[in-house]
Amino acid sequence: MANLSLFTHPGTFKRMNPENLRKWLDPARGYLAGRGLALPVDGSSSPIDYDRLAWVFMEPDGEMPRDLMHSASLIHEMSTENAMLDLLDGARRVGLTVEVGEDPDPVDVAVQVWLQAPAVLEELHQMHQLDRPRGFVHFVTDRQPDPSFDGPTAKGMTDLEAELADWFFHAKRGRHAKVWMYRRPGEYWFLVRHGLASKRQEVVSASGADTLIFRPGEYDVLVYNRKRGELRVHGCNPREVEVLRTLFGKHILHDKDFFPGGAKFTLAPLVDDGRACLACADVAGIEDILLTEVQILAASGSEWLRSTHHASDLFTAIENERVVLPDAESLVRASFLVRFSDSKKRRTIKILGSNRLSVVRDGDTALMERWLDARGFILKRSADEQEPDGVLASA
């Protein structure tokens, strides 16, 4: 179900060109009339009752058309400036004519793409979901990655969807799972759409109160880098991440234990090298880095104590002996402020535990891993796990 609360203010609808708004709502004309909203007919100069329209979305009922709810969610999420650029590029690629003038509101672009080709808006929305800020859990294989791997088989994708759907069903989240694969330089990206637990929401209408039952949707992301033999996973919770890790190995790489888990990151350079571990001149694309937070988990008798130190430049406090870092094994989290060459504003990067890296933009991941590897934050694989020279040089 769409997040209809996003459409509960008249100003939201006033952002849309009235003709585009009428065309979007037209398939639901009968439903809206039953809720007391008469849409103007084609060519009419009658205004739309924006207040009544906002009320319809504010108090949805069980009869609200599913296409209306679904499109409302897509249109809202694709109504940002960045999303508009993606929509315009996508429309040109498939030959859609989007007539929005010289100064359009992004919502009008999204509405026009939906009206002409709903499948295109759906696909571009999926791509947009890939690039949402996320925290990923990283898994490195202890096998020799297959250099001939060139994407999943159709059977592998079908079997993955089927077993995921079965798992979600038994987790009481609906029997639905859909997986899409996208190829990016050196990596294979998998977007997984599935349901969440059902929700009950009280709705009020002229006839009284009722209960609307719906199941929200969610997207997970898996990224496989075959050169490094590494999978990074974004899921809703740790158990789901484990299921995604196992089933991806089983159906895509034909080995459920291909990614055995275990640690990827270490925070030892913070203790061993001090401020020198923040050096980044050898990594093109990164201007400078500050350590801003560390979290320490240490035993105290029969209890564990968790403490957090935060500062705009934590190494200054460490160098002035106001903060003392214990042994590396006690460090469980670190946050960095990174200035990338493509932005004047710093972005926060976090190492969480031994195998999770959190970034603001997933496009930052490759640069950060290059830096983390150069400074010793990434644990080295043993010699017999390394790839032979020259393998996948073109990946």
- CA–centroid distance for 204 within its chain: 33
- Per-residue pLDDT at 52: 86
SS3 52: helix
pLDDT at position 250 is: 95
Domain ranges for the chain, please list them: 4-130, 134-252, 268-378
Q: Answer for the pair 319, 275: CB distance below 8 angstroms, yes or no.
A: yes
| Angle between helix 106-116 and helix 81-94 axes, rounded to 10 deg | 30
pLDDT at 280 over 60: yes
DSSP helix/strand/coil, 340 = strand
* pLDDT tens track for 289-299: 999 999 998 77
pLDDT digits (tens, 9 = 90+) for 159-173: 999 999 999 999 999
Question: What mean pLDDT is reported for the chain?
Answer: 84
pLDDT exceeds 60 at position 107: yes
pLDDT at position 253:
93
CA distance 283 to 279: 9
More confident position, 8 or 46 = 46
Rg of the chain taking only CA atoms, in angstroms: 25
231, two tokens: 């999978």
Q: How confident is the model at residue 2 (pLDDT cuts 50, 70, 90)?
A: very low
Q: What is the pLDDT of residue 393?
A: 26
End-to-end CA distance of the chain: give it in Å, rounded.
39
| pLDDT at site 354 | 81
**Taking the complete model, does pTM exceed 0.85, yes or no?**
no
CA-CA distance, 394 to 39, in Å (whole number)? Answer: 57
Are the CB atoms for 234 and 220 separated by under 8 Å? yes
> What pLDDT does 217 receive?
82
Total count of residues recorded for the chain: 395
User: Confidence class of residue 384 from pLDDT cuts 50, 70 and 90?
Assistant: very low
